[in-house]
Structure 1
């Protein structure tokens, strides 16, 4: 969902989360995440690496940006577009 449209009181399905569409929702389920609480305390890089392992493919680094946005949101930050996290990801993990 577009981060500008997210309403914390209406998080009924994964696609109600910021930056999550059907494909990302499917990836989250594959990772064992079924709601926003399942993202609290998670390590975005660990989620990304696990997804790459489970699907036997290297995913676009932007997927890591999405995971960073979701973990931050789950821990109380305001919803932000995934690209807000790109510079931080590049700083933390320049090898991607």
Structure 2
């Protein structure tokens, strides 16, 4: 869902989360996450690695940003577009240019 349209009190299913549509919801279900509250305490980088392992392919790194956005949202932060976290992901993985 578009982060600007997310209403925290109305988040009941995965597609109610910021930045999550049908395809990402399917990825989360593959990871064993069926409800938004199951994201509490999850590490977005671990979720990304697990998704790569389960599917046998390397997903676009922007999935890390999506996972950061939803884990942070469930931890109480405001809903933000996934690309808000791009610099954080690049810094964490040492992908910044000198």
Q: TM-score range by the shorter chain?
A: over 0.9
Aligned counterpart, 2:5: 5
Residue 12 of structure 1 deviates from its aligned partner by 2.1
The answer as to whether partners of 2:12 and 2:36 remain within 8 angstroms in 1 is: no
Dislocated runs of 4+, deviation >2 Å: none
SS in 2 for 1:68: helix
Aligned counterpart, 1:64: 64
SS in 2 for 1:51: helix
> When the two structures are superposed, what TM-score results if normalisation uses the length of structure 2?
0.94
**Matching of residue 53 in structure 1 with residue 53 in structure 2:** yes
Q: Distance in 2 between matches of 1:43 and 1:10?
A: 24
Q: Distance in 1 between matches of 2:50 and 2:74?
A: 19
Structure 2 residue runs of 5 or longer lacking an equivalent are none
Structure 1 residue runs of 5 or longer lacking an equivalent are none
> How many corresponding residue pairs?
95
SS in 2 for 1:9: helix
Larger radius of gyration: 2
Q: Distance in 1 between matches of 2:13 and 2:66?
A: 17
RMSD between aligned residues: 0.8
